[in-house]
A and B are shown apart, each in its own frame.
Chain A
Amino acid sequence: MANYGLKVSRVGYDVKTADPDELVFSSKYKTLRVKQQGSGTVTESGGRTVTIAHNLGYVPMFLVHGSGDTGFGASSSNYYINPYTPVITGGEYLRRQVRSYADSTNLYITLGNDFGWKYAGTEREENNYGFESDPGYNVGGCAVGRDDDNNWGSEDGALRFNGVAVSSSVYKAELAFYIDARLGSGDVKTVIYGIDEDDTNDFGSSPFGRDRTSNSNTETCDSGISAGDTWAVTVTSIFNEIVGRGGWSSGNNMGFLYIDNSTENQNDIYINHEDDGGFYESWSHLRWLTSNTLLNYKYTIFYNQIE
């Protein structure tokens, strides 16, 4: 390019000899031209995705800043250049990505399914697993369902989670049972209760005679869920009932009971504490969202085209 056009140099630099980075403006170079800017929130109830129309008819350059994953202890008021993607190794992937992408019509901001969740685990401690069947109470494993042919009969299970770091009611809570072994492929029906205690003691003594929460969930582990899967159910009301107890403190332990409600023989699910993975966040776990709002974002869409 011949040496002509409009140039403006930085203070202290001779515009006739300045290098490109010493120029405030040069008509030799395109600049980023802002088409639209905005901000908003990504919510759980909104499906963890927002769609922002730009209607340019081509794919534009864009930039998204998002707040951190509060489930990982990050601030909700600091903004990071998208993406903020802590990658967890071991066990299964935790999908905590913030993804932003554009096509010729819209800009999309979407969150991984695990973004925002806080976790508590069993940490594979023997006394955090229990089940009761016709022969009696057993510790170290959790079974739910019926196994009449092997003389176990109706099986009730219990899981206990350590260090539930929450001090007030939450937006959503989820209880997940990692199925290490499954007998049969039919429905395993259960009614889930919380153990109605401020700080649930371990299962060295049977938990099945302890007080139960008034809230419960009637759930079915159906044929689509197999050994190796994690069966997760929403238990928000139970969780909040326990957190709402007068003696509850953040960091206490919380327990749940799976009371057999099955009618079909030879169907159960089972996990032994030794087989429950080493990475508690992705195997049997209790997790919760403190708020429906997961991410605050700010975005800029440029007129510049990705060609």
Chain B
Amino acid sequence: MANYGIKISKAGYDIVTTGIANQIFNSEKNCIKLATVGTSTATSLAAAGSTTNQVAHGLGFAPGFMIWFEIDNDGDWYFQYTSTVDYIGCGGSSDSTNLDIAFYNNDSSTHTIVAYYAIFADRGS
């Protein structure tokens, strides 16, 4: 590609000479775009239980995504699949229609798990 387009460098770096690592924006390189963000809840998930919630994204391709989750509204948000010591958590998978969010509770008590998802307007691969 010829050297044209929009480039913005970090403070302190010369945009003419600096490499991509020190650029905030470069129109030659894709930015991860957030198509949809939101929450999905597994309420009172039973001990040793699991469930899956579907979130339609309408993108027509399998998008990339990230998920964080909170257990029993305690204010701590874990990254997807990060287990507590008792293996409570959630993760996900996407196809061209939905993001499937899987919740699992391998603890001996009931828990409510809230997932916060960010679906990208970019393909997962």
Contact = CB atoms under 8 A, between A and B. Distances in A.
Contacts of B63: 21
Interface stretch (A38-46, A92-100, A120-128): A92-100
A26 B66 contact: no
B118 interface: yes
A95 B33 CA distance: 35
Contacts of A251: none
B26 to A, nearest CB: 8
* SS of B interface (majority): loop
B106 to A, nearest CB: 9
Contact of B116 (A83, A87, A307): A307
B32 A24 contact: no
B83 A32 contact: no
A304 B34 contact: yes
B68 interface: yes
Contact of B75 (A11, A64, A82, A103): A103
B83 A99 contact: yes
A306 interface: yes
Interface string B65-78: 01010000001111
A259 to B, nearest CB: 35
Contacts of B6: 8
Given A101-B76, A304-B34, A11 B121 contact: no
Given A21-B122, A63-B66, A306 B116 contact: yes
B100 to A, nearest CB: 18
A24 B34 contact: no
A32 B122 CA distance: 12
Contact of A11 (B25, B28, B77): B28
Interface of A: 8, 10-11, 19-21, 23-26, 29-32, 59, 61-64, 82-83, 85, 87, 93, 95, 97-104, 108, 112, 304, 306-307
Given A23-B33, A83-B79, 20 more contacts: A11-B28, A19-B60, A24-B28, A25-B27, A25-B33, A29-B34, A29-B121, A30-B34, A31-B31, A31-B33, A62-B68, A83-B82, A99-B78, A100-B79, A100-B82, A102-B77, A304-B34, A306-B68, A307-B39, A307-B116
29 contacts: A11-B1, A19-B60, A20-B59, A20-B122, A21-B61, A21-B63, A21-B121, A24-B27, A25-B27, A26-B121, A29-B121, A30-B34, A31-B31, A32-B32, A32-B34, A61-B68, A62-B79, A82-B79, A87-B87, A97-B82, A99-B84, A100-B78, A100-B82, A101-B76, A102-B76, A102-B77, A104-B75, A306-B68, A306-B77
